[in-house]
Structure 1
C-alpha cells in the first residue's frame, strides 16, 4: 500500500471501542441505538447482546421516563386519560393501546397501574403490552388509591417487566383507613389492617416508596398516610402547615427523606422532613424555591375556567412528578421543571391537566431482538420501538 493511500485510509474502531461508544448513547432516545444497529451486523450483534443490555442499564442507572399518562377535564365528562410518549418510544400495539377510560393510579418499576371504568385494577406493561387484572379487595371504601411494586427478590429494578408484582391498596370509609396487599404470585389479597382517622385518602395523588414504606397523601389535609409493608403497619405524619395555593405533591425520597413540592403564587417550593429531636420527631424545612414567572410564558399564569368538580381554579398546578422533574399544568400547556437546573420544557399541549403519571423503563433485550428479527429493519419502524434497552 502506498504512503498516500495509507495516509487517507479510514481508521477502524474495535468492537470494544464501539461497545464503549454505544454505552454512552442516552437511554431517553432509543431510536439512536436502533439506527446504530442497522449499520452492520457487527454493531447489531453488540447492541442486542446480553452483556451490552446489562451494562447499558448499569451505566445509566435510573430508567428514563419514556412516556406519561395525563388525566384531564373535558366539558362533557368528569375526566379522561391519554398516554403520551416522551421519546421515540411507542407501545408495541400502538398509542391506542391505552383506552381513554383507564384512570392511571400509579407507576413504578416498569409497570403502570390503571383503574378501568369497569372496576378492579389492571397492571399494564407498555413495553410488552402485557395486562394483568387485579380484583378489588372486599373492604369498605369511599375514597381509595393504590400503588404497584416489583415483587422479585433482590431485583435492581432496571429491567422490571411483568410478573411478579404487588398492588398495595389503601381506602377510607367513615373515619377508618384500611390497607391490604395483592400478590400476583398467589392471586390473593392479604388480611386488611385499619387505622382510625377522620381524613380521606386522596384518590388522585400518587404515592412514593421509601425503602419498604409507602406514603399516600390525604385529601384536603396537612397529613400523610405511612404504610410500612414489611410490618403491615399504618400511621399518620404531618406535612408543612403553610398557605398553599395548590395541593402538595410527593416528588422524591432522597436518602430516605420524603420531599414535597407545592405552589405559592408563582413560586415552586420544595420541602423535606428533617429529624428535629428525640422520639423520631420531624421538622419541615423549605429546601429550595424556584421562581416560575421568568421560566414560563405569561399565558401559563392566566386563570382557567372552573369545571364542575375541579378542585383548582388557577394555573399553574403541580400535577405530577418523575425522577428530578415536576409536572406543571397550565393554560399554556403541560410543562416539566427540572429541579436540579430549573429548566422548563413544554411536553404536551394538554390544558387543565388534573394529574400526570410518568412511566419509566428500559427496553428489554428480547423485545429489541424481536423487532430486528421480524423484518422491521428500517429506521421509521424500528424507531417506534422505544425504551432501549
Structure 2
C-alpha cells in the first residue's frame, strides 16, 4: 500500500484547472474592490478569467443585491465630491468618481440606487441618470403634468432584478393642474418612453399650503415599493407600488412638527417590511408597519436604541443623513463633527469619516455598488 506522501496530487488540483468550475468559485468572492485584483495575481489563468468582460458582468450581476457601501457623494452649495468609507485595501480613491457636470448650484441629487445616481437639472428641466462605475450618462426630459413652479419634484432610479442593462426612473410630485394631488410617471430605458400619469389625493388642512414630497430626503425602496416623506400642510409618507403602478399616502406613527429637523426616515423594518425611524428623547425609535388578519394596517413600536449608550450625544446633537438600503444601515451626523454608520442588526456604530462643516451646508448620498478596481472590462 502506498503512503499518503506518494499518492498523486493531480486529482486534488484538477478542479482549479477546470475554467468553468474555477469561474464559479471566483464568482463567489466577496464584492469588495480588492477581491478580483488580488485574485488576478494568483496566476495567468486566474487573471484571464477575472479580466474577461463576460465574467465581470456576471460578477457585478451576481452581487447586485449585496454590494458594499463604497462611500457617500457629498453635495455642498456649489460642488459635489465623493467621500470613501471603506478601509484599505478596499478604499476607493476620492477622485475616482468625479461628478459629471458643473453643479453651479443648479442641480439636485435625487438619490442613488443599484449603482446609479439620479440628478435633477433645474435650469434644463431634465433628469440625468449617471453610472459612476462606468461613466455612462442618460438625459431625460421631464414629462408634462408636474408642477415645478410652486412645488418641487422628486424621484428614484432603479434596475429591475433581471434587467441589469436597463433602468427605470420613477418621478413623483404635485400635479400642475391641482396641487392637492400627487402624480407619478415611470420611465423605462428599454422602451424609452414615460408611462401615463397616476395620481392620488394628498391630505390637506389648509388649501393654501400644499403638501409636497420632501426634497432633502431620498426615496427608500422596501420590497417592490418606493417611499418618500411628505411635508408642508401634512406630514406623512408617499408610496409608489411598482407592481400595481399606483400611489397612496400613509400616516406616520408619531407626531411630526418639522421634517427639516432630519430626525426621521423611512427604512426597512427588522425582519422585512416598511419601517420608520424616529429620534426622540435621546433614543432612536424603530417602528414597523403591520397588517392584521382583517387587513387593517397599523404601526407597532419595536425596539429603541439609546443614543447616549452608543455615543456621547443626545437627540439635539444627532441628525439622520440617509439610509443605505442594501446594507440596511442609517448614516448619522453628530454635533462633534463626525459621520457614523449605525447597523441595527448588530447595534454597532462605526465612524466613517470626519466632517468639519455645518450640517445645514451639506447633503450626503450613500453610494453602494460593485466596483472591480484595476480590472478592465
Q: What does residue range 294-305 of structure 1 map to in structure 2 within 5 Å?
A: 294-296=309-311, 298=312, 301=314
Provide the rounded CA distance (Å) in 1 between the counterparts of 2:23 and 2:245: 46
53 and 254 in structure 1: CA distance in 2 versus 1, 3 angstrom threshold: farther
Q: 1:125 aligns with which of 124, 131, 148?
A: 131
CA offset at residue 363 of structure 1?
3.8
CA offset at residue 218 of structure 1?
0.4
1:200 matched to 2:212? The reply is yes
Give the equivalent residue in structure 2 for 1:37.
40
SS in 2 for 1:294: helix
Contact 1:113 1:148 in 2 (8 A): yes
Give the equivalent residue in structure 1 for 2:320.
318
Provide the rounded CA distance (Å) in 1 between the counterparts of 2:322 and 2:57: 30
Q: 1:67 aligns with which of 66, 71, 76?
A: 71
State the Cα deviation string for residues 176-225 of structure 1 (Å, max 9, x = none).
Answer: 21211222234332222232323211112222234443222102544211
CA offset at residue 295 of structure 1?
2.2
CA offset at residue 19 of structure 1?
6.9
Q: 2:365 aligns with which of 336, 353, 357?
A: 357
Contact 2:74 2:365 in 1 (8 A): yes
Q: Please, which runs of 5 or more residues in structure 1 have no aligned partner?
A: 303-313, 371-389
Contact 1:301 1:330 in 2 (8 A): no
Q: How many residues align?
A: 336
SS in 1 for 2:308: coil
222 and 240 in structure 1: CA distance in 2 versus 1, 3 angstrom threshold: farther
Contact 2:69 2:369 in 1 (8 A): yes
Contact 2:113 2:157 in 1 (8 A): yes
CA offset at residue 129 of structure 1?
0.7
Contact 2:64 2:369 in 1 (8 A): no
Contact 1:246 1:262 in 2 (8 A): no
Q: 1:238 aligns with which of 251, 254, 271?
A: 251
Provide the rounded CA distance (Å) in 2 between the counterparts of 1:131 and 1:55: 22
Provide the rounded CA distance (Å) in 2 between the counterparts of 1:56 and 1:112: 17
Give the equivalent residue in structure 1 for 2:274.
258
CA offset at residue 86 of structure 1?
2.8
CA offset at residue 246 of structure 1?
4.3
264 and 41 in structure 1: CA distance in 2 versus 1, 3 angstrom threshold: same
1:335 matched to 2:340? The reply is yes
Q: What does residue range 146-225 of structure 1 map to in structure 2 within 5 Å?
A: 146-151=155-160, 155-156=161-162, 160=164, 164-172=166-174, 174-197=179-202, 198=204, 199-219=211-231, 221-225=234-238
CA offset at residue 132 of structure 1?
0.7
Question: TM-score with structure 1 length normalisation?
Answer: 0.73
Q: Say which structure, 1 or 2, has more relative contact order (CA 8 Å, 6+ apart).
A: 1
1:136 matched to 2:148? The reply is no
Provide the rounded CA distance (Å) in 1 between the counterparts of 2:41 and 2:333: 39
Provide the rounded CA distance (Å) in 1 between the counterparts of 2:192 and 2:23: 42
Q: 1:94 aligns with which of 72, 93, 96?
A: 96
Question: TM-score with structure 2 length normalisation?
Answer: 0.75
What is the RMSD of the two structures over their aligned residues, measured on CA atoms? 3.7
CA offset at residue 319 of structure 1?
1.4
Q: Please, which runs of 5 or more residues in structure 2 have no aligned partner?
A: 7-11, 205-210
Give the equivalent residue in structure 1 for 2:207.
none
Provide the rounded CA distance (Å) in 1 between the counterparts of 2:190 and 2:93: 26
CA offset at residue 44 of structure 1?
1.2
Contact 1:83 1:98 in 2 (8 A): no
Provide the rounded CA distance (Å) in 2 between the counterparts of 1:123 and 1:59: 21
State the Cα deviation string for residues 91-118 of structure 1 (Å, max 9, x = none).
Answer: 8983433557243212222211112354
Contact 1:262 1:318 in 2 (8 A): no
Give the equivalent residue in structure 1 for 2:9.
none
Provide the rounded CA distance (Å) in 2 between the counterparts of 1:167 and 1:20: 33
Q: 1:285 aligns with which of 288, 300, 308?
A: 300
State the Cα deviation string for residues 19-59 of structure 1 (Å, max 9, x = none).
Answer: 788566532x3124313312421331343355687478648
Contact 1:92 1:129 in 2 (8 A): no
